[in-house]
Structure 1
């Protein structure tokens, strides 16, 4: 990928990892530019946030701090992995789920 394309989309990619609202803002920021680097990270971040809420809803029914703690640690590691990829200008898929996020949110360009 062109270095110029990465630099142009880096700020949008970073914003996408700052809460769900950041991901939504990043989608609107990328509407005009259609930067492929930013779109990649928007799809990854949106996937992380949505899966966190969906899985977290069901994890909440378990009355175990061990299950909840493991879930939050796993989520945080995935978030840091994606955020660091955006900071470093790399298009690294989130382990386990990244490919599915790219397929599910393929309409985000």
Structure 2
């Protein structure tokens, strides 16, 4: 095992360290990724709501059980509550930043 480690060229390790140490995320990139995260979360909540509605329609047609309808509805409701809480926390953080005296 030690022999295999000795066979790795040290130059390539130093080059890879130099390349990775210079990579830093800019504030715009961080903001964009957070915005993407929120967008994906909202799309997920929307998809769960549509799934709950589709399950309800299937139940009305006799193609789904009550338990399936309740599970889909509860999942959609919990997702919506979580999204609402995240939104509230983001708004609170923004308001706190705006109250900060410079």
| Same fold, judged at TM 0.5 (above) | no
Q: Computing the radius of gyration over CA atoms, which structure comes out larger, 1 or 2?
A: 2
The structure whose RCO (Cα within 8 Å, separation 6+) is larger is 1
